[in-house]
Amino acid sequence: MGKTAVIALVAAAALCPLSAAADIYQYVDADGVVHFSSSKTAGSKLYLKSTMPQAAAPGTPRPGVVPFAPQDRDPTRYTRFDEYIRQASGLYQIPEQLVRAVIKVESDYDPRAVSYAGARGLMQLMPDTASGLGVKDINDPRENIFGGVRYLRVLANLFNGDLDLTVAAYNAGEGAVMQHGGIPPYAQTREYVVKVTHYYRRYRTIPDPIEASLWSNPASSAVALPAPTVAPSPAAPPVSQGAPVVVNAR
């Protein structure tokens, strides 16, 4: 296998009941294979700390949170962060179109957006998750994008490049996806996956980001593309320091 490590998801993790949030552990075995798992094993180290904030009643902000709905209506916002998106997608080998789709659905490209749960910025990162991803200023558009794309990279590795599971985990948490063995049966998460994959296909087929970003009904979309995977080339950089990581496509 040489110096190139291959990502491996520990199968036992999928058999354990998990909450919607799960810590992610990493270890490198004797063959140089980089493993990610939601279960702590001998020799592993905590890679990403996930937290489950206390649930709030629907429409009620969590304590200390001041929600801010996206309000920017300037169509140029859809190209305002192009450089950061290209940089982050290239670094973490996540399709640029997927990054754009997540930003579109999460914040509609308004970096001031704050959810009732406390998620912030273009990619709606929770503060604890952002901190675990090395984000120092969650309100900075560039840092927010890099943190969100890095998280997508971790999830894509964890779910073997499966687009739907990666997107579902970004919304509901990797633990929920493992617990249910697929997209969780949450209406909000299922709708989220439909929206993100819909815009992903629009960004793949419509060259102009502004035109592709304009609202369209996912149910009426005539675009039909093969189900994609989020799988980079073997030259993809690691998501953390250490041996390079390669994601195996299904």
**Each residue of 210-240: b (16+ CB within 10 Å) or e?**
eebbeeeeeeeeeeeeeebbbbbeeebeebb
Residue 219 has a pLDDT of 61
Residue 37 has a pLDDT of 64
CATH, residue 99: 1.10.530.10
Contact (CB, 8 A) for 164 and 230: no
**Each residue of 153-174: b (16+ CB within 10 Å) or e?**
bbbbbbbbbbbbbbbbbbbbbb
- For residue 248, name the pLDDT band (cuts at 50, 70, 90): very low
Furthest CA-CA distance within the chain: 53
- How many CA atoms lie within 13 Å of 243's alpha carbon, on the beta-carbon side? 20
Distance CA 46, CA 49 (A): 7
Structural domain that includes position 139: 5-246
Contact (CB, 8 A) for 238 and 245: yes
Mean of pLDDT over the chain: 78
Q: Does the pLDDT value for residue 133 go beyond 80?
A: yes
Q: Identify the residue with better confidence: 167 or 17.
A: 167
Residue 225 has a pLDDT of 42
Let me know how long the chain is.
Answer: 250
Active-site residue identified among 83, 96, 106, 174: 106
Residue 31 has a pLDDT of 72
Q: Does the pLDDT value for residue 14 go beyond 70?
A: no
DSSP letter for 222, please: -
Active site residue 106: yes
The answer to whether the pTM exceeds 0.75 is no
Q: How many domains does the chain have?
A: 1
